[in-house]
Chain A
Amino acid sequence: MTLVNMAAEVPENPLFPPIPELVIGLVAFFIVFGILAKKLLPNINNVLDERRRQIEGRMEEAEALQAEAQQVLADYRAQLADARHEAARLRQEAQEQGATLIAEMRAEGQRQREEIIAAGHAQIAADRKAAAQSLRQDVGKLATDLAGKLVGESLEDHARQSRTIDRFLDELEAGATKAEAGR
Chain B
Amino acid sequence: MSAETMLAFDANCHLFIPGCGFESPGLHSFVFEPLFTVGGFEFNKPMLLALLSTVVVVWFFWAAFGRAKVVPGKLQMIGEAGYDFVRRGLVYDALGKKEGDKYVPFMVSLFFFVWIMNIWSIVPVAAFPVTSIIAFPLGLALIVYILWMSLTFKKHGFVGALKNLSGYDKSLGWVLPLIMVLELLQHLLIRPFTHAVRLFANMFAGHMLILMFTIASWYLLNGIGIVYASASFVMTIVMTAFELFIQAVQAYVFVLLACNYVQGALAENH
Contacts and interface: CB of A to CB of B under 8 A. Distances in A.
Contacts of B83: 41, 44
Given A3-B4, A21-B133, A43 B65 contact: yes
Contact of A32 (B46, B112, B136): B112
Interface string B91-130: 0000000000000111011101100000000000000001
A36 interface: yes
Contact of B54 (A6, A18, A28): A28
Q: Sort chain B's interface into a size bin.
A: 35 or more
Given A3-B8, A44-B68, A25 B23 contact: no
A158 B69 CA distance: 140
B31 A11 contact: yes
Q: Sort chain A's interface into a size bin.
A: 35 or more
B179 interface: no
B138 A22 contact: yes
Interface string A5-22: 011010110111111111
Nearest to B72: A47
A33 interface: yes
A11 B27 contact: yes
Residue of A25, A32, A43, A54 ringed by the most chain B CB atoms within 10 A: A25
Nearest to B197: A15
Interface in B158-207: 197, 200, 204
Contacts of A28: 50-51, 53-54, 113
A103 interface: no
Interface in B131-146: 133-136, 138-140, 143
B207 to A, nearest CB: 11
Contacts of B10: 3-4
B157 interface: no
A6 B31 contact: yes
Residue of A9, A22, A32 ringed by the most chain B CB atoms within 10 A: A32
B104 A41 contact: yes
Nearest to B61: A40
A24 B109 CA distance: 16
A4 B109 CA distance: 40
Contacts of A48: 80
Contact of A43 (B47, B66, B130, B204): B66
B204 A14 contact: yes
A20 B9 contact: no
Interface of A: 1-4, 6-7, 9, 11-12, 14-22, 24-26, 28-29, 31-33, 35-37, 40-41, 43-44, 46-48, 50-51, 54
Interface of B: 4-5, 7-10, 23, 26-28, 30-31, 33, 41-42, 46-47, 50-51, 53-54, 57-58, 61-62, 64-66, 68-70, 72, 76, 79-80, 83, 104-106, 108-110, 112-113, 130, 133-136, 138-140, 143, 197, 200, 204
13 contacts: A3-B5, A9-B31, A11-B26, A11-B27, A14-B134, A17-B139, A24-B47, A31-B58, A33-B113, A35-B61, A36-B105, A40-B64, A48-B80
